[in-house]
Structure 1
Amino acid sequence: MNYVTFATAAMALISMNLDQAGAQTIGSGYTSSAPKDCRMIGKPGEDGGTTRVCRGKAGLVVLVSEGDLREVVSVGRNRQAAAKEPAAQAWFGPFNSAAHTVEWRAKGDQPFAIIQRWLIADNGEQDKDGRPTTKAMLAVTRLPPGAVCHVAYVDVAANPNANELARQAADEFARDFKCGTDEVKTIGQSGRTTALTRR
């Protein structure tokens, strides 16, 4: 191998290594929004409502507010910022609660969406004790930069691959979603749970 050929091969190898080093993969990390892992803010309101702030990823916090047996979840650099986001006003009509595991979708070390499982009360179907049954749904929420809002819902019962669908939705369009302009998408097969959230 002459010098020119060696130099060309060496430059190609260096370029390939730089490309690989610069390529950031998309993956998931997890945090908890369970009350024991969060900081409670103030005292419960007259309706028994509570607010807690939970540690997230990359300097973000998760704000969980509950009132009248309904929850909202928002994300921001701090509690005040999270409370001003559209997600902080994203109430579902039926009684509901969010699961305590928050999945963070991130490119490299920069999160761009969270995925959470929600349980939605179905007043049209009661259990043996006469209480509403609950239906599971995954909600995808976009993160800063830009506004924080729901971008997609996945009905868990109607989609055996619900987690995969939610991650795909987060990866493909959460970053470009325009809160207040774009409509929240139902991903995969629609089911009873996604119907309940549209009321």
Structure 2
Amino acid sequence: MTLRASIIALPALAVLGINAPAHARESAYTSTATDKGCVTSGTPTPEDEDMGNVSLKCPGYKDYPFYFNAYDNRESTYFGHLSKEILDGAGETFETFNYIGDKIEWRLDDHGVPRATILRYMIQNLNPDTSEPDKAHEGQVLVISRVGQPDDMTGCITAYVDALENKDANDIARKLADEQAPGFPCGKQQPKFHGKTGKLSGYPVYNYPDLSAAK
């Protein structure tokens, strides 16, 4: 995969064929490709290199970077301007092996500032007959995250939506991204699923630093 050459901003209601009001929130889309423009974040150990574990800082939306971490076939992502405590200590993902989709949706406020992201995670559940993952047992979860700002340096996962169980999963995720994510109390409250949840959605892993200890 290669990074998208351009960033596309679209009114949230345009895809529905509705004339959006002037104050409507917008989405911008960027790639999750890590083969161009990314730099290693931190110093990988020989064990990390042998296992294929990586921590990367990648181009995101304008000057808001995208952080990608992979450890033991499980991935975690963070966005925006983040403190050292979060970059070194956070790793929210799922118990089951997983991988992220190829597109990040950035939700922009009325001033065009990215306040939240929506990213699809593929959950690699095992086929009970073969003990191997396959497409028939793969879950899909929309993961909503707060984007770190220069004045707060705080970002985290804020909510989950099972994309297979909810026909309106994208609408639910955008509403959460616009209304819940910007003020979500990272480190004080754990994210949870919203809407219907099925057996393929997996179990989130919460690994987040105590930010109060850093002050």
TM-score, structure 2 as length reference: 0.70
Counterpart residue type for residue 131 of structure 1 = E
**Contact residue 38 and residue 52 of structure 1 kept, 8 A:** no
Residue 164 of structure 2 is aligned to residue 154 of structure 1: no
CA distance in 2, matches of 1:174, 1:195: 21
Residue 64 of structure 2 is aligned to residue 65 of structure 1: no
In angstroms, what is the RMSD of aligned CA positions?
2.6
Q: Give 1:110's aligned residue.
A: 113
Equivalent residue of 1:183, what SS?
coil
Number of corresponding residues: 173
- Mark the CA change 1:189 to 1:198 in structure 2 (over 3 Å): closer, same or farther: farther
Q: How does 1:1-199 map to 2 (within 5 A)?
A: 24-41=23-40, 45-77=49-81, 83-84=87-88, 88-107=90-109, 108-123=111-126, 125-126=127-128, 130-132=131-133, 133-145=137-149, 146=152, 147-197=154-204
**Contact residue 92 and residue 204 of structure 2 kept, 8 A:** no
> Which structure has the highest helix share of the two?
1
Equivalent residue of 2:66, what SS?
strand
**C-alpha distance after superposition, 1:56-79 (max 9, x if no partner):** 124111011112111111123379
Larger C-alpha radius of gyration, 1 or 2?
1
CA distance in 1, matches of 2:205, 2:167: 21
Q: Give 1:10's aligned residue.
A: none
- Mark the CA change 1:52 to 1:111 in structure 2 (over 3 Å): closer, same or farther: same
Q: Which runs of 5+ in 1 are unaligned?
A: 1-22
Equivalent residue of 2:49, what SS?
coil
CA distance in 2, matches of 1:153, 1:90: 12
Equivalent residue of 1:45, what SS?
helix
Equivalent residue of 1:192, what SS?
coil
CA distance in 2, matches of 1:198, 1:82: 15
Counterpart residue type for residue 132 of structure 2 = R
**Contact residue 30 and residue 103 of structure 1 kept, 8 A:** yes
Q: Which runs of 5+ in 2 are unaligned?
A: 1-21, 207-215
**C-alpha distance after superposition, 1:26-84 (max 9, x if no partner):** 11001111123442427761211123322112411101111211111112337968624
**Contact residue 161 and residue 172 of structure 2 kept, 8 A:** yes
- Mark the CA change 1:148 to 1:112 in structure 2 (over 3 Å): closer, same or farther: same
CA apart distance, 1:130: 4.4
Counterpart residue type for residue 60 of structure 1 = Y
